[in-house]
Structure 1
Amino acid sequence: MKPIRLLSGFMTVGFWTLASRILGFLREILITAYIGPGPLMDAFVAAFRLPNMFRRFFAEGAFNAAFVPMFSKRLESDDNAEEFAQDAFNWLAAVVLVLVALGMIFMPGLVWLTANGFAGDARFDMAVGYGKIAFPYILCMSLAALFSGILNATGRFAAAAAAPVLLNIFTCTAMLLGEFLGGAIIDWLIWTIPVAGIAQLALVWIATERAGISLRPRLPRPSKEMGNLLRVALPAALAMGVTQINLVVGQLVASDLEGAVSWLFVADRLYQLPLGVIGIAIGIVLLPDLSRRLRAGDTSGARDAFSRAGEFSLLFTLPSTAAFIAIPLPLVSVLYERGATTTADAQAIALAVAIYGVGLPAFVLQKVLQPLYFAREDTRSPFHYAVVAMVINAALALGLKPTLGWISPAVAASAAGWSMVVLLWIGSLKFGEVARFDQRFITRGVRITAASAMMGIVVSGAFTLFEPWFFSDSWRYMALLLLVLLGALVYFVAALVIGALNLKELRSAVRRSA
């Protein structure tokens, strides 16, 4: 078996995801500055969420969970992997084309189901119009997910990880051009989304061709292999659908207060930075590696890969959690408070960021635990757990709304995230030793937690001491930079001193993965 280089894969996917998230920050900064929380941005968020929601149903979540392990095993045993990929391409394209047509026809109903608080005001009609423009994006993204799955299974992570960067490059460029050339910024933004989708699909399609796998549009045909793929993919689609239902529930709860949908969206995008860079990178790299190791009977190697992935996730996630809880307001104020975004908006977003931060480790650990199931083509168990988490999320979001108001969806999401982790961990016990974190993970996890707590205390104190600087137009950017550098220094030194980080091991791992 030719092993996938885990650390190299983590770094590649993490780098490109970081680039995408940084450009995503720029995109959200431009959106909040030019458009700002309010009716226009609420309508855009609701419309843009629709193709992203269905993309998770039909592409990234369900498709990768089912397709990648099956394709990886065929690739490992030279069992018609390209023919299998061609059949999957044919069926995915056909199904999503039908979905796009139905979505365009019934767009008013989709908007009402996902944001009925918009009914009766201008946001509803705007969301319907924007949704019709953005919805075809799902076709490009679904097919791009297939090509990305092929590339990931073959150990080629760069193109698939780089593709999302194009969306942010295109949308940021469009808004800047709109500001320079004139016209409604929202029109420049919304029309760029399908164009960016075409560019993303082209990038991964070409990369797959260069990897030696050539797929072309053809009519789908029934086969036993596609029946097996559907059997595995359907529970995964339902599981990912549950996650999207949680987001929709939050949007429904917040949609009756103007601006709340925008606040939650911006907060969600901020905590998505470490989730994307670490959690998604681990999930993408770990799944094909576990699948191939289990196929080869390498149980000890699979356990080591699982434990190192968990350790890697904590090393970068817990300090982010500490920062989101300790200093959400300076982060949000410096990043977003300008133009159409007011101080009141920044305070609301900061509250949501702190609450999402509590759930961040759970969202990342899910990405570590789920491949244990998906590598065995077990998608039913995660679906059952996701249903339980969905019920918890809905009950808390709706039940806490009379007390907490628009922020209840953030509380519910974090609580549901931790519930999902507990269920995934309990369920994984049936897999035996391969699903047990080793002693090194446990020891390092405690030390990483301690180093993160130290960092949180220091940056919180530093913010209190220099708070006026953060609300001065002349000094706030420098103040945030210094605060981030201070936090990074404290965490790095503390991690070295108490043994949470070992530079010799890290250098050795980098050399092995190079």
Structure 2
Amino acid sequence: MIRSILSVGGWTLVSRVTGFFRDVVMAAVLGAGPVADAFVVAFRLPNHFRAIFGEGAFNVAFVPTYAGLDGSGDTQAARAFADRAFTLMLLVQVALLALALPLMPWIVRALAPGFADEPEQFALAVALTRITFPYLLFITLVTLLSGVLNARRRFAAAAAAPVLLNLSLLAAFALAFLFPNAAYAAAWGVAVSGVLQFGLVWADAHRAGLGPRLRRPTLRDAGMVRFFRMLGPAVIGSAGVQIAMFADTILASFLPTGAVSSLWYADRLYQLPFGVIGIAAGTVLLPEMSRRIAGGDVAGAHAAQNRAIGFSLALSAPFAVAFLLVPELTMTALFQRGAFDAEAAARAGAVLAAYGLALPAAVLIRSMVASFYARQDSRTPVMASLGAVAVNVALKVVLTGPFGVVGLALATAAGTWVNVLALFVLARRRGWTAPSRTLVVTAGGVLAACAVLAAGTLGGLPLLERLMPALPRFRELAILAALGIIGVVAYGATLLLALRLFGVRLRRV
């Protein structure tokens, strides 16, 4: 399982690295002003719907059902179910696209009401969103095909697909001179990337003999019945999370210009460890636990979950320390160039620090919900998610006044912790999770290593600032790189020493 996590995580790392270069170019070209804000809204809208109906609800309902049918040996039933689900998703997305395009001005007004006071920015956001919205159709089909491939332990193509989004956007920025402005180029880059990603996973599914065919959906299919029973609660749960993200965009649109894009740039760094570690672990863990529980190996399922949680904690904790202690240096070193000035870096850095508080909980959520989805219980995660969303949205309203855009990120952190703690308590009461001694020791070792890392960062930063020569434009990047090297050595050595003292081998983590 760890090998599969590393495979998914490796491709996700490539995706996040190319995404980082994409965001660096975007920051330099678009900056953090009204044009950038309009593009961020246009990009976020199809992604909100994708998270609700694609990677969110559809995935958690589809994967356990398909894995259960396939794991029981009934490959024909699994194939028929995948065909019907593919046809259903295609019909739903075509209908949604036909409805959304003419209604786009009202949709954008609902998502970013603050833009209504700026007619040019509002018109640009509407035009860009009409270009990006078809991306939703292709990416939801990508999600289904990825679920089929993942259930058969073919993870590479699905994990590699997001790289094409970043490459497409980089190519679009290079060709921006052919468009009215760079935001239009970026929007077309998003739309084209959806086609490219679909082509990649379709080709891999076809090679494996798993490419779905069009087949009339019917409730006579036991798999479809089971799928719909999970889908409804999963949609509500996924929508709840997206409500909090909608609230971010809505409230940020009323803040001074640049707030929406500040959230965006900070979120891109926050998503790096979350995507590489948390999503990779959850992607592999869900079908693994589903298969083991379907086969009666509950202890094996819990052991797999403990390994995924320990692995996620160990890899994500250093990022949280860095986000909390050197956020402005991070944003300055990575993004401050071109249209992205020092003021934008400072504002985005403050948001990044708040996101750092959320990171440990965020990377664990995907591993914790597997306790429920693997048992085809989609209702309990919904209740936990909605409770967390209520806390999140209420705090956004309260904290935005005194803290501005940073208050939105602080509320996200609080809601994320409420969510993961609720999932753990509920799973523990039902005996659906069983933390082992190895996991407890790993968590303690991670805390000790974080303390050493924090001390090294706080002590090393002033020293590096005095010793580092005044390199034009690259001094902050050199300081950040030096801190990173020191931190990796200090953190890794402390963690390995702590695990060895308690007799835990790294392979068991």
- Deviations 1:239-263 (CA, angstroms, capped at 9, x unpaired): 1111111111111111112100000
Q: Please show how residues 405-416 of structure 1 align to structure 2 within 5 Å.
A: 405-416=404-415
Q: For the residues of structure 2 that align with 1:183 and 1:125, how far apart are their CA atoms?
A: 14
Q: For the residues of structure 2 that align with 1:475 and 1:313, how far apart are their CA atoms?
A: 32
Indicate yes or no: 2:3 matched with 1:8. yes
1:206 pairs, out of 197, 203, 207, with 203
Match of 2:125 in 1: 127
Q: For the residues of structure 2 that align with 1:104 and 1:115, how far apart are their CA atoms?
A: 17
Contact 1:56–1:237, Cα closer than 8 Å, also in 2: no
Deviates more, 1:55-64 or 1:267-276: 55-64
Indicate yes or no: 2:45 matched with 1:76. no
Matching residue's letter, 1:153 = A
Deviation at 1:344, TM superposition (A): 0.7
Deviation at 1:501, TM superposition (A): 9.8
Matching residue's letter, 1:97 = V
Match of 1:488 in 2: 488
Q: For the residues of structure 2 that align with 1:220 and 1:300, how far apart are their CA atoms?
A: 36
Indicate yes or no: 2:54 matched with 1:59. yes
**Structure 2 unmatched runs, 5+:** none
Q: For the residues of structure 2 that align with 1:362 and 1:457, how far apart are their CA atoms?
A: 23
Deviation at 1:58, TM superposition (A): 1.2
- Deviations 1:45-67 (CA, angstroms, capped at 9, x unpaired): 11111100000111111111111
Distance 1:491 1:20, change over 3 A: same
Deviates more, 1:244-253 or 1:142-151: 244-253
- Deviations 1:165-212 (CA, angstroms, capped at 9, x unpaired): 100011112212336x78622222111111110010011111111122
Match of 2:451 in 1: 453
Deviates more, 1:235-244 or 1:267-276: 235-244
Indicate yes or no: 2:41 matched with 1:46. yes
2:150 pairs, out of 138, 149, 152, with 152
Match of 2:94 in 1: 97
Deviation at 1:465, TM superposition (A): 2.5
- Deviations 1:8-35 (CA, angstroms, capped at 9, x unpaired): 1100000000110111111111111001
Indicate yes or no: 2:246 matched with 1:251. no
Match of 1:374 in 2: 373
Contact 1:445–1:500, Cα closer than 8 Å, also in 2: no
Deviation at 1:300, TM superposition (A): 1.6
1:232 pairs, out of 210, 230, 233, with 230
- Deviations 1:416-474 (CA, angstroms, capped at 9, x unpaired): 00000111011102431x51111110111011111012112212222222336588514
Q: Secondary structure at 2:210's aligned position in 1?
A: coil
Deviation at 1:477, TM superposition (A): 2.8
Distance 1:475 1:160, change over 3 A: same
Q: For the residues of structure 2 that align with 1:312 and 1:135, how far apart are their CA atoms?
A: 36
Matching residue's letter, 1:354 = A
Matching residue's letter, 1:291 = S
Match of 2:399 in 1: 400
Q: Please show how residues 105-504 of structure 1 align to structure 2 within 5 Å.
A: 105-121=102-118, 122-178=120-176, 184-224=181-221, 225-256=223-254, 257-432=256-431, 434-467=432-465, 469=468, 472-499=472-499
Deviation at 1:129, TM superposition (A): 0.6
Deviates more, 1:343-352 or 1:187-196: 187-196
Contact 1:94–1:220, Cα closer than 8 Å, also in 2: no
Q: For the residues of structure 1 that align with 2:111 and 2:465, how far apart are their CA atoms?
A: 39
Deviation at 1:312, TM superposition (A): 0.2
Q: For the residues of structure 2 that align with 1:187 and 1:422, how far apart are their CA atoms?
A: 42
- Deviations 1:209-235 (CA, angstroms, capped at 9, x unpaired): 112223223454443432331220121
Distance 1:471 1:220, change over 3 A: farther
Deviation at 1:123, TM superposition (A): 1.8
Contact 1:39–1:123, Cα closer than 8 Å, also in 2: yes
Q: Secondary structure at 1:60's aligned position in 2?
A: coil
Deviation at 1:314, TM superposition (A): 0.6
Contact 1:447–1:500, Cα closer than 8 Å, also in 2: no
Q: For the residues of structure 1 that align with 2:303 and 2:176, how far apart are their CA atoms?
A: 50
Alignment size in residue pairs: 502
Contact 2:351–2:405, Cα closer than 8 Å, also in 1: no
Contact 1:7–1:509, Cα closer than 8 Å, also in 2: no
Structure 1 runs, 4 residues or longer, greater than 6 Å off: 500-504
Distance 1:254 1:499, change over 3 A: same
Contact 2:306–2:439, Cα closer than 8 Å, also in 1: yes
Q: For the residues of structure 1 that align with 2:220 and 2:140, how far apart are their CA atoms?
A: 21
Deviates more, 1:225-234 or 1:370-379: 225-234
Q: For the residues of structure 2 that align with 1:500 and 1:115, how far apart are their CA atoms?
A: 52
Instruction: Tell me the TM-score normalized by structure 1.
Output: 0.94
Contact 1:373–1:382, Cα closer than 8 Å, also in 2: yes
Deviates more, 1:400-409 or 1:110-119: 400-409
Q: For the residues of structure 1 that align with 2:367 and 2:328, how far apart are their CA atoms?
A: 30
Matching residue's letter, 1:475 = R
Q: For the residues of structure 1 that align with 2:500 and 2:260, how far apart are their CA atoms?
A: 39
Contact 1:41–1:262, Cα closer than 8 Å, also in 2: yes
- Deviations 1:466-514 (CA, angstroms, capped at 9, x unpaired): 33658851433322221111111111111122227999944x679xxxx
- Deviations 1:91-141 (CA, angstroms, capped at 9, x unpaired): 111111111111112111111111111112022111111010000100000
Deviation at 1:411, TM superposition (A): 0.6
Q: Secondary structure at 2:376's aligned position in 1?
A: coil
Q: For the residues of structure 2 that align with 1:220 and 1:305, how far apart are their CA atoms?
A: 34
Deviation at 1:325, TM superposition (A): 0.7
Matching residue's letter, 1:131 = T
Percent identity between the aligned chains? 38
Q: Secondary structure at 1:466's aligned position in 2?
A: helix
Match of 1:3 in 2: none
Q: For the residues of structure 2 that align with 1:20 and 1:55, how far apart are their CA atoms?
A: 18
**Structure 1 unmatched runs, 5+:** 1-5
Deviation at 1:81, TM superposition (A): 0.8
Instruction: Tell me the TM-score normalized by structure 2.
Output: 0.95
Matching residue's letter, 2:129 = G
Matching residue's letter, 1:176 = A
Q: For the residues of structure 1 that align with 2:501 and 2:127, how far apart are their CA atoms?
A: 51
